């Protein structure tokens, strides 16, 4: 717990910036979404636009039967935003967990503490998980407040589970990035590779969805297991996908711990 508190304090300034910026974005979107509920020109435009999209993109942007215009707007804006920004934030923390200490020359001091190496890495992984949760659910809270203030009829339960699904995605991306960083020689390189991987995997998944490729063909990609539409329609978590992402996170953490315990660190 001491290691967790220490690392959490070290990351709190950046966390406040991420929570604040995402919260403001969600609140502004929610508080100005009331006109979508009334249909009108914008609603008609969205309906016409949906007819021009490939089926794979309609679901991604919420342009499907069963969703209200506000739900479609929240899914297309906040759902996709969280699917990008949470993995990015997770990779920033994960790539820094060990490699930044090496770059700063403080790795010797860290490893000299009377704790096991695995405890250090698990504590930093736990901080990443907690911070991702704070960003995700504070975004949902800002949505809730903004929509309540505008008196819009909204699917609050669906939005909650959509942000929860994004949390699982971010955790998986960060855990994989932490595992990859075990072989990095310096922090900047680890961070570049992690962020590039997020961009490539997101783009590949988007292209495969547009091409309507089956889920089995996309099994290798963490983004395959995030769908911002289904939590809104079901008003629950997509449990199977969440289990896959959580399993990938825990396996990646276990492997990272194994590598870290045997890693020769030159500070």
- Give the percent of the chain with pLDDT over 90: 52
Does 206 score more than 80 pLDDT?
yes
Read off the pLDDT of residues 126-157 as tens digits, 9 standing for 90 and up: 999 999 999 999 999 999 999 999 888 889 99
- Give the percent of the chain with pLDDT over 70: 81
Does 248 score more than 80 pLDDT?
yes
Q: What is the mean pLDDT of the chain?
A: 85
The label of the residue with tokens 């309540």 reads 148
pLDDT of res. 33: 80
Does 51 score more than 70 pLDDT?
no
Pick the closest to residue 78 from 1, 166, 171 (CA basis): 166
Task: Provide the angle, in degrees to the nearest 10, between the axes of the packed helices 239-262 and 156-181.
Answer: 20
> Please, which pLDDT band fits residue 111 given cuts at 50, 70 and 90?
low
Q: How big is the chain, counted in residues?
A: 267
Lowest mean pLDDT among 19-23, 139-143, 147-151, 251-255: 147-151
Residue 68, classed as helix, strand or coil, is: coil
CB-based contact 11:134 (threshold 8 Å):
no
Distance of CA 74 to the CA centre of its chain: 16
CB-based contact 171:247 (threshold 8 Å):
no
> Please, which pLDDT band fits residue 41 given cuts at 50, 70 and 90?
very low
What number is the average pLDDT over the span 51-59?
61
């Amino acid at each position: 717990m001491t290691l967790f508190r220490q690392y959490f304090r070290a990351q709190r300034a950046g966390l406040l910036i991420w929570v604040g910026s995402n919260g403001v974005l969600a609140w502004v979107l929610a508080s100005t979404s009331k006109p979508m509920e009334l249909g009108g020109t914008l609603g008609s435009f969205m309906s016409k636009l949906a007819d021009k999209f490939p089926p794979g993109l309609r679901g991604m942007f919420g342009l499907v039967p069963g969703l209200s215009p506000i739900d479609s707007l929240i899914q297309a804006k906040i759902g996709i935003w969280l699917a990008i920004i949470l993995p990015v934030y997770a990779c920033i923390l994960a790539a820094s967990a060990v490699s930044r200490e090496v770059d700063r020359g403080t790795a010797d001091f860290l490893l000299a503490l009377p704790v096991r190496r695995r405890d250090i890495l698990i504590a930093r992984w736990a901080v990443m998980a907690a911070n991702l949760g704070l960003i995700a659910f504070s975004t949902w809270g800002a949505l809730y407040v903004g929509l309540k203030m505008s008196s819009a009829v909204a699917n609050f339960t669906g939005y909650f589970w959509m942000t929860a699904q994004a949390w699982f995605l971010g955790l998986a991306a960060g855990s994989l990035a932490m595992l990859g960083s075990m072989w990095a020689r310096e922090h900047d390189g680890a961070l570049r590779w992690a962020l590039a991987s997020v961009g490539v995997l997101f783009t590949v998944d988007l292209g495969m969805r547009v091409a309507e490729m089956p889920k089995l063909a996309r099994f290798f990609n963490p983004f395959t297991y995030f769908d911002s539409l289904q939590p809104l329609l079901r008003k629950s978590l997509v449990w199977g996908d969440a289990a896959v992402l959580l399993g990938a996170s825990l396996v990646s953490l276990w492997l990272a711990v194994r590598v870290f315990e045997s890693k020769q660190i030159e500070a």
